[in-house]
């Protein structure tokens, strides 16, 4: 009886062992992924700190600017006072020392860079050295949060439309290989080699300067409309040109890329077999084309969502759009390291979290993927 009982319990024991083995394998894999992603983020952020500060060269530029500004200030303060040159020089040196201490320039950059890194990893973004928010704050967090809605509006409206429209059109073209529309997309795809701001300049010339039907730049007219619906309408008018330039700048190459991608899967043997069986085209698309390509589509969509918040630096600058991209451009021109590093650390965290989650999403949408299998 004992032997029979053990034999009957054998499947349950094996199932528990398999479950424990799977859990431990997934836990080890998750731990390794977290460690590797954290190391990657640390390296990326520290390199950004070095590049943004030019290895300490920006410190020298700032010291020279401080010395020049303080010297002029002291000269104006003591212009009509009987003060000796030595006293003026001492006053200037004391003020220079205080200003350098306020900006942290009294500490060597090699030490200060690790302090920046520690604060950045804790999302302590600190204060900007030059830039201020519209409310007058120097807090990097507030500067970024103030510009973020404008970037999300511009990038969200343009990139989400571009993504879904490109996938939809490309899927249709993959079923119409060699048709007029297919050849037209192929012929127009080289136009995407020009950057979006190039089309933006032409849009400004045509629709704003010549036709005068859309505003030149900005996000809202000055003074802004008081009525809510008029405000929304005015905002949409300002959105059309920058969003349109971002869409046109990448539309045809995006459709062509997805169309080629879908064609590869459309030519598989199992798709030909499904067609031979007489399955409807919609079922073939859903089961045999879209489902195998779903991991790639999800990856592109996830990376697109992360990229929404970074903005389009030159396009935003051309249209004077008050977003993150233009803010980063201004920060680079002003050598404002905290703003540059703050923008980068948030992007790095979002990218690391997305890469981590994509492994599990792949396992959900594709049964062939096993987390931590080592294959």
Single out the residue of 307, 304, 194, 188 nearest to residue 245, CA to CA: 194
- 355 within domain boundaries: no
Domain residue limits at 16: 2-121
Please check the confidence at residue 1 and state whether its pLDDT lies above 50: no
Domain end (from 64, 88, 121): 121
346 alpha-carbon distance from chain centroid: 9
Tell me what pLDDT residue 2 has: 54
pTM higher than the cut 0.85 = no
Please report, for residues 242, 289, 324, 346, the alpha-carbon distance to residue 308 in angstroms, rounded to integers and kept in the order given.
14, 28, 10, 12
Kindly report, residue by residue over 331-370, the tens digit of the pLDDT: 888 888 888 888 888 888 877 887 777 777 766 666 555 5
- 151 and 18, same structural domain? no
- 166 and 76, same structural domain? no
- 157 and 111, same structural domain? no
pLDDT, the chain, mean: 81
The proportion of the chain whose per-residue pLDDT surpasses 70, expressed as a percent, equals: 89
Kindly report, residue by residue over 262-302, the tens digit of the pLDDT: 888 877 777 778 878 887 877 777 777 777 788 888 888 88
- 155 and 268, same structural domain? yes
Q: Is 55 left (phi over 0), alpha (psi -120 to 50) or beta?
A: left
Single out the residue of 96, 139, 137, 115 nearest to residue 53, CA to CA: 115
Kindly report, residue by residue over 198-255, the tens digit of the pLDDT: 999 999 999 999 999 989 888 888 888 888 899 999 999 999 999 999 999 889 999 9
- 352 within domain boundaries: no
Q: Mean per-residue pLDDT for 26-34? A: 78
Total domains in the fold of the chain = 2
Please check the confidence at residue 375 and state whether its pLDDT lies above 50: no
CATH, residue 218: 1.10.3720
Single out the residue of 65, 136, 55, 142 nearest to residue 337, CA to CA: 55
Domain end (from 303, 318, 335): 335
- 106 and 8, same structural domain? yes
- 202 within domain boundaries: yes
Q: How far apart are CA 90 and CA 189, in angstroms?
A: 66
Q: Which two tokens stand for residue 77?
A: 């303060």
Residues 6 or more apart whose CB falls under 8 angstroms from that of 325 comprise 151, 310, 311, 312, 313, 314, 315, 316, 317
Q: Mean per-residue pLDDT for 31-48? A: 85
């Amino acid at each position: 009886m004992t032997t029979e009982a053990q034999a009957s319990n054998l499947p349950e024991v094996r199932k528990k062992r398999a479950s424990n083995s799977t859990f431990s394998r997934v836990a080890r894999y998750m731990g390794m992924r977290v460690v590797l992603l954290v190391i990657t983020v640390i390296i990326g952020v520290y390199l950004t700190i070095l590049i943004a500060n030019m290895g300490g060269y920006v410190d020298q530029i700032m010291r020279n600017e401080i010395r020049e500004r303080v010297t002029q200030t002291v000269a104006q303060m003591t212009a009509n006072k009987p003060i000796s040159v030595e006293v003026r020089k001492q006053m200037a040196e004391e003020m220079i020392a205080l200003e350098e201490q306020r900006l942290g320039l009294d500490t060597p950059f090699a030490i200060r860079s690790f302090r920046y890194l520690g604060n950045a990893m804790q999302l302590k973004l600190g204060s900007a050295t030059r830039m201020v928010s519209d409310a007058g704050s120097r807090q990097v967090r507030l500067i970024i949060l103030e510009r973020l809605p404008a970037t999300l509006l511009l990038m969200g409206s343009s990139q989400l439309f571009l993504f879904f429209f490109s996938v939809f059109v490309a899927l249709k073209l993959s079923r119409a290989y060699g048709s007029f529309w297919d050849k037209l997309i192929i012929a127009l795809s080289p136009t995407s080699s020009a950057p979006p701001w190039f089309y933006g300049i032409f849009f400004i010339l045509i629709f704003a300067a010549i036709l005068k039907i859309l505003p030149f730049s900005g996000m809202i007219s000055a003074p802004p409309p008081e009525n809510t619906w008029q405000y929304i309408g005015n905002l949409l008018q300002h959105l059309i040109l920058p969003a349109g330039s971002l869409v046109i700048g990448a539309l045809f190459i995006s459709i062509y890329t997805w169309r080629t991608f879908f064609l590869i899967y459309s030519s598989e043997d199992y798709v030909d077999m499904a067609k031979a069986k007489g399955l409807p085209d919609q079922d073939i698309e859903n089961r045999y084309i879209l489902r195998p390509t779903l991991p790639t589509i999800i990856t592109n969509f996830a990376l697109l969502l992360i990229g929404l918040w970074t903005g389009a630096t030159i396009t935003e600058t051309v249209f004077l759009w008050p977003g993150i991209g233009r803010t980063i451009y201004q920060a680079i021109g002003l050598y404002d390291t905290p703003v540059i590093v703050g923008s980068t650390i948030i992007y790095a965290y979002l990218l690391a979290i997305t890469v981590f989650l994509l492994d599990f999403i792949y396992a959900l949408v594709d049964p062939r993927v096993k987390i931590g299998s080592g294959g």
